[in-house]
């Protein structure tokens, strides 16, 4: 039976070995070792948790079972009930999603001189961007280069990403940092103004730029201010529930739903950008999540029903260090920066069981192995976990480092009486990121003409595993590009006529023909434990 006193007792073992462990340099695993580890312990390899799609562009493809239920779910609307002849909104670029990608997109579309409009089911900034902690990668130091960043990111993603997307990600990274810096993001800098950079798992150079351990919140604050200061319209508490096409199958707007009144509205647009973020709140395989409340895979559903193709959606990222204890913050993110700063992962015997800066899939799998097959986890009220020896940071870098570099972590645990400067913390993997998504070109185009995608909802950038700090980077690089390309396309597109939702009838007919009835209505919009939004 789990007891707090017992935990405190076990933590003493970690303290006793701290000095010794701090000096250890655990070896990296070989490629073969990683391969076996992943196949045995990574949740992506649990075949019983996946289903094969029976309709749509990815027919025959494997996706998590909960996602299959939504992708093959019923629309929230009967197309016959929606009057498309008199749109409530008319714009050039309709951006679905008010996170980092949607906001960056809106700013660039605005720069291009077109009318852009954001629609978001919660409020602008209520997004995974806001939740990102540790930093954003960019190879902008003399010892680094986009080519080295490319090798890290492409290799870290098991060579499964689209090379042209990785190239774009890394080559445009330095400019993304410059852009954010000029917009007003308060990056950590040395006294001479040089940006402070650190390592992340799988990076061969220190290229993680951060604003303490609330980098995403700082970036989102800046982007949100910029969108609002420019007067770009933001329709909040309003979700997009279907993409509208025109008679030629081009994206031409979206059906919107007011989240409180359930009133339906129509937004007509020359181009549409899906920037709805991820899927952590699907809690695949019963995992807790580090994600924002609205991360329910909506964009995948919107895109799929309209005819877009998905890729790599059978691969999810379980961030190795979700909070394992206490209950109030179970699954909340413990930033990788904690490990970048030197804290090591330790088992019940006080043993450092791996190099803490292996890539995330490998680290998560090692922790799962420690807690299952090796039975070296620490039992809490919530299951097993391993130690992350946070006091090691001040031991290595000097007193005050934790307070200065990871104040949000100090505060988050401090609220529950845990002083991470003095005590190790308990961690276990948490559902963090959707590695795949809507298949895009290097111009953010989907398979549906005039339909673009950006940010976590887009696939192909990270392959089958994403490195720390490449997500904040992705939302900026591909968010900005989406704004540029969607605006350019809007300029050469006439106001769409003959809007239609016939593709929904067709999709329903396909489902019926295949005998698929998942009993789910989609997009989901809010987690299953939210107040009913049906």
For residues 167 and 148, give the distance between their C-alpha atoms in angstroms, rounded to a whole number: 11
Kindly tell me which of 335 and 450 has the beta carbon lying closer to ligand MEZ.
335
If one asks whether residue 197 binds ligand MEZ (CB under 6 A), the answer comes out as no
If one asks whether residue 336 binds ligand MEZ (CB under 6 A), the answer comes out as yes
Rounded least distance, CB 334 to ligand MEZ, Å: 8
Rounded least distance, CB 164 to ligand MEZ, Å: 22
Site for ligand MEZ in 161-190 (CB under 6 A): none
CA-based angle 247:248:251, to the nearest 5?
Answer: 90
Per CB under 6 A, the segment of 3-11, 133-141, 153-161, 258-266 that binds ligand MEZ is 133-141
Rounded least distance, CB 469 to ligand MEZ, Å: 5
Rounded least distance, CB 471 to ligand MEZ, Å: 4
Could you give the count of Cα atoms lying within 13 Å of 472 in the half-sphere of its Cβ? 30
If one asks whether residue 342 binds ligand MEZ (CB under 6 A), the answer comes out as no
Kindly tell me which of 110 and 336 has the beta carbon lying closer to ligand MEZ.
336
The backbone torsions φ and ψ at residue 309, rounded to the nearest 5 degrees and listed phi first, read -100, 150
Rounded least distance, CB 337 to ligand MEZ, Å: 6
If one asks whether residue 104 binds ligand MEZ (CB under 6 A), the answer comes out as no
How do strand 116-119 and strand 234-235 relate by DSSP bridges?
parallel
Site of tokens 């950079």: 197
- Residue from 64, 102, 135, 356 touching ligand MEZ (CB under 6 A): that is 135
Number of residues that bind ligand MEZ (CB under 6 A): 11
If one asks whether residue 134 binds ligand MEZ (CB under 6 A), the answer comes out as yes
- The three-state secondary structure class of 492 is coil
Rounded least distance, CB 468 to ligand MEZ, Å: 5
If one asks whether residue 132 binds ligand MEZ (CB under 6 A), the answer comes out as yes
- Inter-axis angle of helices 173-183 and 470-491, to 10 degrees? 90
Kindly tell me which of 338 and 440 has the beta carbon lying closer to ligand MEZ.
338
Kindly tell me which of 100 and 253 has the beta carbon lying closer to ligand MEZ.
100
Q: Which two tokens stand for residue 195?
A: 């940006």
For residues 153 and 132, give the distance between their C-alpha atoms in angstroms, rounded to a whole number: 18
Rg of the chain in Å (alpha carbons): 23
If one asks whether residue 468 binds ligand MEZ (CB under 6 A), the answer comes out as yes
Q: How many residues does the chain have?
A: 534
Q: Which two tokens stand for residue 317?
A: 């990222």
If one asks whether residue 471 binds ligand MEZ (CB under 6 A), the answer comes out as yes
The backbone torsions φ and ψ at residue 530, rounded to the nearest 5 degrees and listed phi first, read -80, 165
Site of tokens 């450092």: 352
Nearest to 200 by CA among 402, 467, 396: 467
Kindly tell me which of 51 and 340 has the beta carbon lying closer to ligand MEZ.
340
Q: From the DSSP assignment, how many helices (H) and strands (E) are in the chain?
A: 18, 21
Rounded least distance, CB 470 to ligand MEZ, Å: 6
DSSP per-residue letters across 199-251: --TT-SS--EE-STT-HHHHHHHHHHHHHHHHT--EE-SEEEEEEEEETTS-E
If one asks whether residue 133 binds ligand MEZ (CB under 6 A), the answer comes out as yes
Kindly tell me which of 13 and 185 has the beta carbon lying closer to ligand MEZ.
185
Rounded least distance, CB 128 to ligand MEZ, Å: 9
Kindly tell me which of 156 and 377 has the beta carbon lying closer to ligand MEZ.
156
Kindly tell me which of 333 and 385 has the beta carbon lying closer to ligand MEZ.
333
If one asks whether residue 367 binds ligand MEZ (CB under 6 A), the answer comes out as no
For residues 460 and 450, give the distance between their C-alpha atoms in angstroms, rounded to a whole number: 19
Q: Classify residue 463 by its DSSP letter.
A: T
Kindly tell me which of 75 and 470 has the beta carbon lying closer to ligand MEZ.
470
Nearest to 278 by CA among 447, 75, 64: 64
- The three-state secondary structure class of 459 is strand
If one asks whether residue 361 binds ligand MEZ (CB under 6 A), the answer comes out as no
If one asks whether residue 394 binds ligand MEZ (CB under 6 A), the answer comes out as no
Nearest to 87 by CA among 260, 245, 254: 254
For residues 258 and 459, give the distance between their C-alpha atoms in angstroms, rounded to a whole number: 28
For residues 250 and 87, give the distance between their C-alpha atoms in angstroms, rounded to a whole number: 17
Rounded least distance, CB 63 to ligand MEZ, Å: 22
If one asks whether residue 427 binds ligand MEZ (CB under 6 A), the answer comes out as no
If one asks whether residue 388 binds ligand MEZ (CB under 6 A), the answer comes out as no
Burial 284-316 (b: 16+ CB within 10 A, else e): bbebbbbbbebbbbbbbbbbbbbbbbbbbbbbb
* Residue nearest ligand MEZ by beta-carbon distance: 134
> Where in the sequence numbering do the catalytic residues fall?
319, 339
Per CB under 6 A, the segment of 153-161, 269-277, 334-342, 507-515 that binds ligand MEZ is 334-342
Rounded least distance, CB 408 to ligand MEZ, Å: 10
- Residue from 288, 307, 436, 469 touching ligand MEZ (CB under 6 A): that is 469
Kindly tell me which of 63 and 333 has the beta carbon lying closer to ligand MEZ.
333
482 to 398, 451, 475: CA distances (angstroms): 44, 10, 10
If one asks whether residue 335 binds ligand MEZ (CB under 6 A), the answer comes out as yes
- The three-state secondary structure class of 119 is strand
Beta-bridged to residue 272, according to DSSP, are 94, 451
- Give me the residues that bind ligand MEZ (CB under 6 A), please: 132-135, 333, 335-337, 468-469, 471
């Amino acid at each position: 039976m789990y007891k707090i006193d017992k935990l405190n007792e076990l933590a003493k073992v970690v303290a006793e070995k701290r000095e010794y462990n701090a000096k250890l340099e655990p070896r990296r695993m070989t490629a073969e070792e990683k391969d076996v580890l992943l196949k045995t312990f990574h949740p992506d390899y649990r075949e019983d948790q996946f289903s094969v799609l029976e309709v749509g562009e990815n027919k025959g493809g494997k996706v998590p079972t909960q996602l299959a239920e939504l992708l093959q779910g019923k629309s929230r609307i009967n197309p016959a009930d929606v009057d498309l002849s008199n749109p409530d909104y008319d714009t050039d670029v309709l951006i679905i999603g008010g996170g980092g990608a949607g906001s960056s997109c809106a700013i660039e579309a605005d720069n291009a001189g077109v009318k852009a409009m954001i629609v978001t089911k919660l409020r602008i900034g209520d997004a995974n961007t806001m939740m990102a902690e540790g930093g954003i990668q960019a190879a902008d130091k003399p010892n680094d280069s986009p080519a080295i960043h490319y090798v890290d990111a492409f290799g870290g993603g098991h060579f499964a990403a689209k090379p042209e997307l990785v190239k774009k990600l890394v080559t445009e990274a330095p400019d993304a940092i410059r852009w954010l810096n000029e917009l007003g993001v308060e990056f950590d800098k040395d006294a001479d103004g040089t940006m402070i950079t650190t390592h992340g798992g799988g990076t061969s150079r220190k290229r993680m730029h951060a604003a303490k351990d609330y980098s995403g919140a700082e970036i989102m604050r800046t982007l949100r201010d910029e969108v609002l200061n420019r007067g770009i319209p933001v329709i909040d508490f309003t979700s997009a529930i279907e993409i509208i096409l025109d008679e030629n199958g081009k994206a031409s707007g979206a059906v919107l739903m007011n989240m409180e009144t359930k009133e339906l509205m129509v937004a007509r647009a020359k181009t549409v950008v899906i920037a709805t973020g991820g899927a952590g709140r699907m809690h695949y395989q019963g995992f807790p999540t580090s994600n924002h409340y609205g991360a329910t895979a909506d964009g995948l559903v919107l895109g799929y029903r309209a005819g877009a193709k998905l890729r790599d959606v059978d691969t999810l990222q379980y961030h190795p260090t979700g909070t394992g204890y206490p209950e109030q913050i179970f699954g909340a993110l413990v930033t990788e920066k904690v490990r970048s700063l030197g804290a090591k992962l330790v088992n019940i015997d006080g043993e450092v069981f791996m190099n803490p800066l292996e890539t995330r899939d490998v680290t998560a799998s090692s922790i799962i192995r420690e807690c299952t097959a090796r039975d070296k986890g620490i039992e809490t009220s919530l299951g097993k976990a391993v130690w992350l020896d946070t006091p090691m940071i001040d031991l290595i870098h000097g007193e005050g480092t934790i307070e200065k570099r990871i104040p949000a972590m100090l505060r988050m645990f401090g609220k529950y009486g845990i002083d991470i400067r003095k005590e190790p913390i308990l961690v276990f993997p948490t559902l963090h990121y959707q590695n795949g998504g809507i298949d895009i070109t290097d111009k953010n185009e989907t398979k549906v003409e005039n339909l673009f995608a950006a940010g976590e909802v887009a696939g192909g950038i990270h392959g089958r595993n994403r490195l720390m700090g490449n997500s904040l980077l992705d939302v900026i690089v591909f968010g900005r590009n989406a704004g540029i390309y969607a605006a350019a396309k809007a300029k050469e597109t006439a106001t769409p006529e003959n809007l239609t939702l016939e593709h929904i009838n067709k999709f329903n007919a396909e489902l019926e023909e295949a005998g698929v009835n998942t009993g789910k209505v989609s997009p989901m919009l809010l987690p299953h434990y939210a107040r009913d939004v049906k």
